[in-house]
Amino acid sequence: MITTDRAAAAATAIATTTAGLAQVTEPRARFRDVVAAEWIKLWSLRSNTWAFVIGALAVIGFNVGTAWDTYRYWTAQDAGSRADFVRDGIPLSIAFTENAAMVLMLALSAIGATAIVGEYRTGMIRMTFTAVPARRSVMAAKVCVVTAVTTVFGAVVAVASFGLTQAVLSGRHIGVPIDHPGALRVVVASALLAPVSALLGMALGTLIRHSAATMTASVVILLLLPLAFSADRHWAAVAGHALPAGAWTRLVDVDQQQVAYPWTLTGAWTVYVVWALATAAVAVTSVQRRDQ
């Protein structure tokens, strides 16, 4: 009996020591290590690099192309249109056009969705959650990496678009500097549209987990819903203002066009913040209780 008790005590001591050694040899992953892993995964896919490059060229190309058309056909404008060109804020509307904003939203939502949908499609998400069981930490790291990268991307594209378009327009002496009233707001609003769109794509990808369905949902929210809400009715105008595209439109509207139900700049910035926080929260929390 005494021998058995001693053996049990020894076995318990060995198990405790082994567990302690396991904890020492296999420390819990630190958040910065998870962020570093997500950074590597983002850039390990060559398609992501090409997506950023092609997206940037497309957005800048739309803007510069519009500026070049204005430069080329400037002599066809009547005297009244020439005189009111800068006053009406047209150089700033050319700095980042609606077509360019549409391309930016679609491209960045696709990149954000790919960051999570690709892992579900290949099954890599299982290995990720096995290595780091704290799922929310993994998704929080994804959110941090995608937000940082797409914010830098948006800033580069917006600044390049502004500089190049105004350089083209300056050939007709109608370009404006960055300190022109409303110019900085146009650049910042266009730059931040990138991470908002990417986080939306990531949130939808986390919920839907299928590429085609995720992209369809992104198109509906970013492009089709703004067209469905008429500005002639109060509830529809409020719904349109609450969408990312509606907020961007208000922020780049430097000449303050008269509408039936106007939206404030503070309200538009608030829409950006709410969409970013809400989509990030969905992406982080929705994986906690859901497997593939």
Per-residue pLDDT, 19: 46
Q: Band of the pLDDT at 255, cuts 50, 70, 90?
A: low
**167 to 81, 162, 180, 272: CA distances (angstroms):** 20, 8, 14, 29
- Give the rounded distance of the alpha carbon of 283 from its chain centre: 13
For residues 157-165, give the mean pLDDT.
97
Dihedral sign for Cα atoms in the order 45, 47, 53, 59: negative
Per-residue pLDDT, 3: 44
Per-residue pLDDT, 275: 97
Per-residue pLDDT, 55: 96
> pLDDT (tens digit, 9 = 90+) per residue, 3-52?
444 434 433 443 444 444 444 445 667 889 899 989 998 998 888 899 99
| Mean pLDDT score of the chain | 85
Q: Band of the pLDDT at 120, cuts 50, 70, 90?
A: confident
> pLDDT (tens digit, 9 = 90+) per residue, 40-97?
989 988 888 999 999 999 999 999 999 999 989 887 776 666 777 887 788 999 999 9
121 in Cβ contact with 205 (< 8 Å): no
Percent of the chain's residues with pLDDT above 90 = 57
Q: How far apart are CA 53 and CA 62, in angstroms?
A: 14
Per-residue pLDDT, 289: 60
Residue 78: which region, alpha, beta or left (left: phi > 0; alpha: psi -120 to 50)?
A: beta
**248 to 37, 158, 245, 270: CA distances (angstroms):** 33, 13, 5, 11
Residues 6+ apart with CB under 8 A from 48: 42, 111, 114
**Nearest-CA neighbor of 66 among 93, 46, 87?**
93
